[in-house]
Structure 1
Amino acid sequence: MSTSGIRPHRAHAFTGKHRFFMMMAICMGAFISHFTAGIVNVSLPQFTQFFQTDLGKVQWITTGYLLVITALLPVMGKMGDRYGFRRIHNLGYVFFTISSILLTFSTHISVLLVLRMVQAVGAAMFQATNIALITLHVPKENRGRALGIVSTAVALGAMTGPILGGWIAEWFSWQWLFLIHVPAAAAATLLAFRYIPVGGQKRRSDSFDKVGALLFMVGISSVIFGISNASSWGWLSVQTIFIFAAALITLLILLLWEQRQTFPFLPIRALRISAVSYGLIVSCASFMLANTLLVVIPFYLSGTAGLSPSTAGYMLAAYPITLALAGPVAGYLSDRYGSRRFMFLGLGGMGSGFALLALYLGQLPVIGVLAVLALIGLGMGLIASPNNSFIMKHAPAEHIGSIGSMIALTRNAGMVIGAALGLGVIPRGAGQPGQAELLASYQSVFEINLYVCIGVITLLGYAIHRDRKRRSQ
């Protein structure tokens, strides 16, 4: 079955210049949305002082943004299938840019939170449709490289947001947290309207499953909300158990409902394709592994290793640098040689890095930690773009919007799970933990990551073996 979803002449109807600026517009959005997600984290105490409120409300600046994006990604993918990926993507830029400007005029925390949610709606609109647009308008022989560039933009945005947020918190007012990206967002909006092609998509006209969409949003929001707060509530607390139980019941009802629908909200038929389902599992797991590292290692570098925050920040740059170098190359090579071997190599690289951290973290010199960060970044670069290309290659044409949004969903979910896991192992309590206790906690989470890597490699190998066996019959 063709997976491009385009008329035969459309993919090659644009000059190299048009395609370059289209990719620039898409990548700027991918960078900005993840950059904005993390830039406010360091400044949360500053918001409590300015708005004279408690940290519980202020944390919704981060948690609410993430919840809205995660809950709306499949909805926006569906909207793209029906009304056009270009329209949803570009309107998302407009909402995001305008809300970013309006945020700086907030005089009350409630106003700021509402506008932050509008900003998240915009981010969900273009996050859910950017991979579909690339699948539509980039030729198959260049698609892996294009997806690799987008994956690199996502990683760089997630990495640079907290670093730049720390500098702004130290030297500027909080308004700059929402203004600094506005020129780039405005430029991306103009480029998107000018260079993303208007035609080429076969839109779907089937009915929209509103009940399925509502059940999904409630269920996935409950999961993300529970994971985000479990560390502070306690994983076995009444609140945590209640939230997870409600989420489980809601998601079970959703699955039963979707099985009875002619046009279900979730792309059930596509998710039954093993290449799509295990590709999404790899996506979620890889971002969980990466975000666990990025949450825990700064504590180790600044605390146990005794490095200054600036030195720790420079060391952390090893991860996105190697990812940025490996991502487009892996995408290009996967177009020629297939994706699976790069996915295995990437998971092996990440697993090797976590094995070194789990076994030798306290004994590694600073240059050793730097090398491990680079190794894990290299592994992530080898996974992301080949995996995305692999998923979209096997996705039915009528579901590329939904599957593209599912890739973004698994990415965001993995980042949340990784952050919760990383923060969850850091000792809490009245007394200050000793260095040995802290080191053991850090090593324990890296050991968990190693087991996750082994599990995903095993799952991937089994799925590939099963597919080959089925084709040979």
Structure 2
Amino acid sequence: MRRLCRLALLGVPLAGLAAALAYRYLPVDACRPDASVRDTFWSPLRDVGLRAGLAMSALVSAVIMATFVVGPFYLSRGLGLDPAWMGLAMAVGPAVAAITGIPAGYLTDRLGTRRLTLVGIGTMLCAALWLSQVSGLIAYIAALTVLTAGYSLFQAANNTAVMSDVSATRRGTVAGLLNLSRNLGLIFGASVLGAVFARSSPDVTQATPQTVTAGLHATFATAAGLILLAGVIAWNRARTRAGSEHTNIDKLKS
């Protein structure tokens, strides 16, 4: 318990450092008297493209949460890793996300949000299908790396697509909706995908490595379905926006 308290206390100076950096470097927004009081929290949801972006954000966040819920059981019970090695294996995902974040943003600027959204979802789908058949530590880490890299691509592209068409008076509200969708996705992933794993391995403390592996496969087979649904939403959003752009061009020509 004392070790846990010490670890928790280590986060205090880190949080203070983050607050100091935010205070020092983030720009100060001026008050916007033109912001309408009637512009409620839910009014931006009338935008079909925004709803699509929020739905996709929730779906892929649920899949990422599955790696944190199911991963430790597979690494410890399925592969027999001790806590230290399990922690190192679990750190691969966040490390890949940190490394690929800036390149994902650069690619979004160069190639566009529509293309990168589909590429990110496609990469995640391949990784989820791989995880639904994976066996062994090296293969698991490789699949996790691909999944997280795809998630970085998707997040950079989807966030840019959502925020690009938002007026200045609604940016804070839409940013809050994006955070809400991610958190709802994390809750959904922890509960529903965790339940899928629990159904496949009811008593994980007594489960054999084969049973835990079967639970991992069932979980990510379900996760692949969620990613496929996100891909359908992304495709429809891209077609809708392309159609509206062609309509606007035809109007200008006429």
Q: TM-score, normalised by structure 2?
A: 0.86
Per-residue CA deviation, residues 144-170 of structure 1 (Å, 9 max, x unaligned), is: xxxxxxxxxxxxxxxxxxxxxxxxxxx
What do you get for the CA RMSD once the two structures are aligned? 2.3
Q: Does 1:372 align with 2:147?
A: no
Structure 2: unaligned runs, 5 residues or longer: 248-254
**Offset at 1:174?**
4.4
Per-residue CA deviation, residues 397-431 of structure 1 (Å, 9 max, x unaligned), is: 22111001111111111111111134312233699
Quote the residue 2:99 is aligned against.
325
8 Å CA contact 1:343–1:387 kept in 2: the answer is: yes
Q: Secondary structure at the match of 1:415?
A: helix
**Offset at 1:195?**
3.3
Counterpart of 1:332, as a letter, is: Y
Q: 2:19 aligns with which of 189, 192, 195?
A: 189
**Offset at 1:333?**
2.1
Q: Check 1:423–1:464 CA distance in 2 against 1; reply closer, same or farther (3 A cut).
A: same
**Whole-Å separation in 2 of the counterparts to 1:338 and 1:386:** 8
**Whole-Å separation in 1 of the counterparts to 2:71 and 2:228:** 21
**Whole-Å separation in 2 of the counterparts to 1:406 and 1:205:** 17
**Whole-Å separation in 2 of the counterparts to 1:431 and 1:378:** 32
**Offset at 1:177?**
4.5
Quote the residue 1:458 is aligned against.
232
Counterpart of 1:195, as a letter, is: Y
8 Å CA contact 2:78–2:210 kept in 1: the answer is: no
Quote the residue 1:90 is aligned against.
none
Quote the residue 1:448 is aligned against.
222
**Whole-Å separation in 2 of the counterparts to 1:459 and 1:199:** 34
Quote the residue 1:390 is aligned against.
161
Per-residue CA deviation, residues 267-319 of structure 1 (Å, 9 max, x unaligned), is: 42x32223222111121111111111221121111101112221122222221
What count of residue pairs does the alignment treat as equivalent? 244
Q: Secondary structure at the match of 1:181?
A: helix
Q: Secondary structure at the match of 2:80?
A: coil
**Whole-Å separation in 1 of the counterparts to 2:76 and 2:119:** 31
Quote the residue 2:41 is aligned against.
266
Q: Does 1:414 align with 2:189?
A: no
Counterpart of 1:351, as a letter, is: L
**Whole-Å separation in 1 of the counterparts to 2:50 and 2:152:** 19
Counterpart of 1:194, as a letter, is: R
Counterpart of 1:415, as a letter, is: L
8 Å CA contact 2:79–2:136 kept in 1: the answer is: no
The 5 Å alignment of 1:68-107 reads none
**Offset at 1:338?**
1.2
Q: Percent identity?
A: 26
**Whole-Å separation in 1 of the counterparts to 2:19 and 2:210:** 50
**Whole-Å separation in 1 of the counterparts to 2:161 and 2:57:** 11
Q: TM-score, normalised by structure 1?
A: 0.48
**Offset at 1:439?**
2.6
**Whole-Å separation in 1 of the counterparts to 2:54 and 2:205:** 41
**Whole-Å separation in 1 of the counterparts to 2:59 and 2:36:** 33
8 Å CA contact 2:53–2:162 kept in 1: the answer is: yes
Q: Check 1:316–1:185 CA distance in 2 against 1; reply closer, same or farther (3 A cut).
A: closer
